[in-house]
Each structure stands twice: as structure tokens, then as C-alpha cells.
């Protein structure tokens, strides 16, 4: 009669490919801060926010959430962050995220040095389905049984006795009337229960479509050989949206998709590519000179409308490419595509002391010594790039960022794409910056710039880029224990390089 929701989908273990917390590092106005947002696993749920300020302290720290579909004029008033007892520079607060969809969490600091604010986009999606407790199920079934038979009995009694004179005797006709009424009521109630069961199942199915515990949406991947190239074709969200619906996406640094390919098993082939839409939900990309084999496909995207960002995953067999010089190139690779093949190159392991990765040209990347890396603590992702003679190099921005990094747990259960500013979608942040600028302007007539440009470069050139930077630091905390591999990408001159490191994270 009552359907108990006990089953939990098996893939729920791998949340938003396993790493739901959001980190930000950078200057908020005049204050350098590190922000951590611990996301709830249910909706509605409470996000826990902490802000660590380096240097001069602000007087006040404010937090406020804004839903993607809500106008800023209807935004709730900001909450005041509380200075944690015993700490001098750590503020914390909690915000309720009521709906499924994208939010921006605005963090505003004000004090003697002035004010500053930053938008951090987060995806508010249920990551798990809580099971119905057994005792509650038993109580509900019991109440349901009482209501059902009680209802039948009341109707039967009414049909039998309601027109009987006081003190009258129940005869054969009345009894038959009662039985007939009981029969009809049973049928009506059973139909009602059947409808109720359908409604419950439909509602649960709808809820399950919103669950984003793992990779989402579905992704099909296949490689074909055409001309001199191997073309990877991706079909996005055929099951989730239907093949006729063309998923609208927000570009991130001018690219709709940021695709990572990682060779399975040996993990000695890596590529960061940008597929191009070929109509509908079909995307193509020409593969670089990766060795053949089975590759994990991880595809980052941000949806227009909902502004939700997520990672779609699959795996694909990359065939050998027989060189046939007579054939033509069918697809021009994106100039920002990069890849690294490092079979035979030892991958250094960070185990407390500095680990150094040597690139083929002799330059070195050092992962500076860290304290033992533990779950949900600063991962200490600080790297220094030196040229072959050991001198620090001058890094150029690669797709607007000082670095792009990818993290994968050895079993594939955790994947994260990071930048020195944080691990949230830059496309979603740009969307919220624009939305707020537009809506604030309609309120005030003027608007102050609120984007932190200290670590990014949207101009495409070197205009806003600080020169002489040779170190990369990425704000991140590993969500679970295990063996991880990290690919750190950066640009020197016009060459994109990829350094590779391993580490083991303890509980």
C-alpha cells in the first residue's frame, strides 16, 4: 500500500564526481582571503561557510545567497559572519539553500581598508536520498490500515443505519444496503490508493532525476578515424534531455566544454581539449598524439538557464592511428588544446618532502613540502616552476588562468578541476557577475566592479597579468582518503606544460 523509500542508488557514493565542497582563494577588495563552502547533501540544506582573512582584518564579514532565477531585489538580507572563538581571522556562517539549482554566495568584507565582495557559484542539488526509517514506515502502514478499514466501516454503518428510526431493528434489506456500500467504498478507496501510489512513485522518480550524486548528465563517447585524424564524438544528455533537445551551455573562457582524457590503468596519457558543437547535442574534437588505449572521459560544463555546472563522464577506446600522408586534416584543433604523454617518465610522489617533476625540456616543477595530507584539510597544492638552469620562470596565463589542474582518485570516484582562484565554474561566476551588475544597475544606476582580477585574465593578453610569477597555489581539500594523481597545467611562453604528481591522502 505505502511505498517505502529504502533503496539508495548505487552511484550516489561518487558525489559531484566526489568533491562537492567549494574553495576560493584571492583578494576580496583589499582583503586576501581563503573561503571554504561545505555544501549540504540534501535540499533544502545548510551550507557552512568559512572565511579566513590574511593580513589586515575587516570589521565585518557578510554572507548572502542568491538563487539563479531570483532577482537581486528579492534577495534575502545578508547574514553577519561570526568570528570563531579563539581565532583572530576566521569567520564562519551558515546559509540555507532552499531550492534545487545554482546559487551564488556573495561574500562581502568591510573595514578600515574599504569594502570588497566576491560571487562564488555553487550547485544546490541533492546528493543523496535519505532512507525512510523503518519505525516510521511501520507507523504509517498501521495508520493507513486503520484509516482504510475505518472508512469502509463508517460508510457501511451509515448506509445500514442512517435512515433507521431510533430503536428500529436492522433487517435483511439494511444489511444488504450496508454490504453494497462497503463494497463500493472498498473499490473507491483501492482506486484512490492506486492513484496515490502512482503519484508517490512519480514524485520520487522526479526527485531522483534531480539527484546529482555522480557524474551528470549522460555522455556517449566514440572515436572514429577520418583523414589523418582521430575524431572523438561526444553525445551529451541523450537520456536526460532526449535527443531532440539541444542543451544550452554557458561558455567558459570561450569554450562550451572542457574535456579531460586520462588513459586508464597506467594514467600516462592526459589531454585537456575543447570539443566543438556539431549540431544538437553532438560535439566533435580532433584527438592529439595520444597513445592508443582506453581513456576516461571527463567533461566539464555549465548549463544555461539553471546555471548548474557539472561533469559528465564515460570511457572511450582510442584506436591506433596509421599514418596516411595522402589524407587531409578534417578538423582544426583548438589552439588551447593541450596534452601530455609521459610513459617512462617517473611520476614523483608527495610524501611530506618536496617532490619534483622533470619535464622533457629539462624544466622542473616542484610540489613544495607539505604536512601529511589529510581528508578535508588544506591539500598544500603549492608548486614552483623552474627552467632547466634552475631559475624561476615567468608564467603566462593559459586560458585566462595562471594554471588549470585536474585531480583524479585512482578508482575514478573523485574528479576535480581546479584553478588558483578555486574549484567552481568560472562560467557560472561570470554569469552571476553579469546578472548582479545588470540588476544592481537598474536599482542604483551605478555599479562598482566586484570581480577579483588578481589571478585571472579575461583580456586574452598580458594586460592584467602580473609578470614574474613562477609559483602556483591551488586552494583545495581532498574529500576522501585514497591515492590521487594531480595534473598541473601552466604556460611558459606559448607552450602549455603539464606536470604530474601522485599522493596518498589519509583519513
Question: Sign of dihedral through CA atoms 200, 205, 211, 213?
Answer: positive
Binding site for Cu ion (CB under 5 A): 404
Query: Least Å distance between CB 363 and Cu ion?
Result: 21
Kindly give the residue spans of alpha helices, DSSP state H, lying in 354-496: 426-444
Which residue's beta carbon is nearest to the bound Cu ion? Answer: 404
Q: Which residue, 51 or 297, is less far from Cu ion as judged by CB?
A: 297
Q: Which residue, 404 or 491, is less far from Cu ion as judged by CB?
A: 404
Query: Least Å distance between CB 22 and Cu ion?
Result: 15
Q: Which residue, 404 or 465, is less far from Cu ion as judged by CB?
A: 404
User: Closest Cα to residue 109, out of 198, 196, 38, 49?
Assistant: 49
Q: Which residue, 278 or 453, is less far from Cu ion as judged by CB?
A: 453
Q: Are 111 and 56 in contact (CB under 8 A)?
A: yes
Q: Which residue, 177 or 419, is less far from Cu ion as judged by CB?
A: 419
Query: Least Å distance between CB 331 and Cu ion?
Result: 22
Of how many residues is the chain composed?
Answer: 507
Query: Least Å distance between CB 67 and Cu ion?
Result: 26
Question: Angle between the 172-210 and 134-161 helix axes, to the nearest 10 degrees?
Answer: 150
Query: Least Å distance between CB 418 and Cu ion?
Result: 7
Query: Least Å distance between CB 253 and Cu ion?
Result: 8
Q: Which residue, 156 or 379, is less far from Cu ion as judged by CB?
A: 379
What residues contact 165, with CB distance under 8 A and at least 6 apart?
A: none
What residues contact 147, with CB distance under 8 A and at least 6 apart?
A: none
Q: What is the C-alpha R_g of the chain? A: 29
Q: Which residue, 100 or 298, is less far from Cu ion as judged by CB?
A: 298
Q: Which residue, 25 or 439, is less far from Cu ion as judged by CB?
A: 25
Q: Are 217 and 236 in contact (CB under 8 A)?
A: yes
Q: What is the DSSP secondary structure assignment for residue 378, as one 8-state letter?
A: B
Query: Least Å distance between CB 337 and Cu ion?
Result: 13
- Characterize 98-132 residue by residue with b for buried, 16 or more Cβ atoms within 10 angstroms of its Cβ, and e for exposed: eebbbbbbbbbbbbeeebbbbbbbbbbbbbebeee
Q: Are 473 and 383 in contact (CB under 8 A)?
A: yes
CA distance 502 to 386: 20
Query: Least Å distance between CB 333 and Cu ion?
Result: 18
Q: Which residue, 263 or 404, is less far from Cu ion as judged by CB?
A: 404
Q: Are 208 and 129 in contact (CB under 8 A)?
A: yes
Query: Least Å distance between CB 471 and Cu ion?
Result: 18
Amino acid at each position: 500500500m505505502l511505498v517505502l523509500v529504502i533503496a539508495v542508488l548505487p552511484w550516489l557514493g561518487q558525489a559531484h564526481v566526489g568533491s562537492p565542497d567549494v574553495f576560493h582563494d584571492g583578494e576580496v577588495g583589499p582583503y586576501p582571503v581563503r573561503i571554504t563552502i561545505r555544501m549540504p547533501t540534501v535540499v533544502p540544506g545548510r551550507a557552512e561557510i568559512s572565511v579566513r582573512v590574511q593580513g589586515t582584518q575587516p570589521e565585518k564579514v557578510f554572507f548572502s545567497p542568491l538563487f539563479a532565477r531570483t532577482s537581486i531585489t528579492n534577495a534575502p538580507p545578508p547574514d553577519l559572519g561570526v568570528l570563531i572563538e579563539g581565532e583572530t581571522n576566521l569567520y564562519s556562517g551558515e546559509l540555507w539553500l532552499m531550492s534545487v539549482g545554482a546559487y551564488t554566495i556573495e561574500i562581502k568584507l568591510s573595514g578600515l581598508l574599504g569594502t570588497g565582495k566576491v560571487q562564488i557559484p555553487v550547485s544546490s542539488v541533492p546528493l543523496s536520498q535519505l532512507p525512510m526509517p523503518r519505525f516510521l514506515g511501520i507507523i504509517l502502514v498501521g495508520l493507513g490500515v486503520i484509516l482504510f478499514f475505518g472508512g469502509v466501516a463508517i460508510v457501511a454503518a451509515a448506509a445500514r443505519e442512517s435512515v433507521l428510526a431510533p430503536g428500529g431493528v436492522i433487517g435483511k434489506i439494511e444489511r444488504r444496503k450496508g454490504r453494497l456500500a462497503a463494497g463500493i467504498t472498498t473499490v473507491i478507496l483501492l482506486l484512490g490508493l492506486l492513484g496515490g501510489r502512482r503519484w508517490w512513485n512519480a514524485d520520487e522518480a522526479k526527485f531522483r532525476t534531480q539527484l546529482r550524486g555522480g557524474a551528470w548528465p549522460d555522455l556517449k563517447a566514440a572515436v572514429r578515424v577520418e583523414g589523418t585524424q582521430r575524431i572523438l564524438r561526444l553525445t551529451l544528455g541523450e537520456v536526460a534531455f532526449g535527443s531532440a533537445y539541444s542543451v544550452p551551455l554557458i561558455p567558459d573562457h570561450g569554450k562550451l566544454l572542457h574535456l579531460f582524457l586520462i588513459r586508464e590503468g597506467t594514467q600516462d596519457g592526459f589531454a585537456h581539449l575543447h570539443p566543438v558543437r556539431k549540431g544538437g547535442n553532438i560535439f566533435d574534437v580532433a584527438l592529439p598524439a595520444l597513445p592508443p588505449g582506453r581513456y576516461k572521459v571527463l567533461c566539464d560544463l555549465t548549463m544555461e538557464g539553471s546555471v548548474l555546472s557539472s561533469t559528465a563522464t564515460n570511457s572511450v577506446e582510442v584506436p591506433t592511428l596509421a599514418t596516411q600522408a595522402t589524407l587531409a586534416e578534417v578538423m582544426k584543433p583548438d589552439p588551447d588544446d593541450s596534452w601530455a604523454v609521459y610513459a617512462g617518465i617517473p611520476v614523483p610522489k608527495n610524501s611530506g618532502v618536496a617532490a619534483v617533476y622533470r619535464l622533457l625540456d629539462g624544466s622542473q616543477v616542484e610540489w613544495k613540502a607539505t604536512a601529511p595530507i589529510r581528508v578535508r584539510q588544506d591539500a598544500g597544492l603549492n608548486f614552483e616552476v623552474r627552467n632547466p638552469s634552475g631559475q624561476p620562470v615567468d608564467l603566462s596565463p593559459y586560458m585566462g588562468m595562471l594554471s588549470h589542474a585536474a585531480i583524479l582518485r585512482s578508482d575514478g570516484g573523485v574528479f576535480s578541476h581546479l584553478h588558483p582562484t578555486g574549484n567552481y565554474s568560472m562560467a557560472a561566476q561570470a554569469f552571476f557577475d553579469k546578472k548582479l551588475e545588470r540588476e544592481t544597475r537598474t536599482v542604483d544606476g551605478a555599479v562598482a566592479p566586484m570581480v577579483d582580477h588578481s589571478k585571472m585574465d579575461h583580456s586574452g593578453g598580458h594586460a592584467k597579468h602580473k609578470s614574474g610569477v613562477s609559483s602556483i597555489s591551488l586552494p583545495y581539500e581532498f574529500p576522501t582518503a585514497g591515492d590521487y594523481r594531480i595534473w598541473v597545467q601552466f604556460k611558459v611562453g606559448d607552450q602549455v606544460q603539464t606536470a604530474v604528481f601522485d599522493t596518498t591522502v589519509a583519513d
